[in-house]
Amino acid sequence: MRRTLTVGAVIPRFGTSSFPTMVQALETTLAERGYTLLLAAPDNKGSQTTDMVRTLLARGVDALALLGSRHPQEVFALLKTQGTPFVQLWTQDDALGPCVGFDESQAAALVVDHLADFGHREIGFIGGYTRNNERAEARLAGLMRAVAKRGLTLREDATVETEYGLQQGFDAMERIRLGGSPVSAVVCGNDYLAAGALAALDQAGVPVPQRLSVASFNDNEFAPFMHPPLTTVHLPIQEMGEQAGRHLLAVLQNQAPEAAAPLPVHLVIRRSTGPRG
Residues present in the chain in total? 277
What is the pLDDT at residue 43? 74
The span from the CA of 213 to the CA of 185, in Å, is 4
**In the predicted model, is pLDDT for residue 1 greater than 80?**
no
Which CATH superfamily includes the segment(s) 6-102+236-263? Response regulator (3.40.50.2300)
Angstrom distance (rounded) from CA 88 to CA 68: 6
pLDDT at 46 over 60: no
Fold held by 104-235: Rossmann fold (3.40.50)
- The tally of CA atoms less than 13 A away on the side-chain side of residue 150 is 24
Name which of 103, 101, 53, 60 is nearest 78 in CA terms.
Answer: 53
Strands 213-218 and 231-234: parallel
Which pLDDT belongs to residue 44?
A: 61
Q: Is 192 buried (19+), middle (13-18) or exposed (0-12) by CB count in 10 A?
A: buried
Q: What are the extents of the domains in the chain? A: 6-102+236-263, 104-235
Decide if pLDDT at 198 tops 70.
Answer: yes
Neighbours of 52 (CB within 10 A): 18
Rounded mean pLDDT, 172-196: 97
For strands 36-40 and 63-67, give the pairing. Answer: unpaired
pLDDT of residue 260: 82
Fold matches, 6-102+236-263 and 104-235: yes
**Statement: residue 59 has pLDDT above 90:** yes
The H-assigned helical ranges of the chain are 19-31, 49-58, 73-82, 104-117, 134-150, 166-178, 191-204, 237-252
Alpha carbon 108 to its chain centroid, in Å, reads: 12
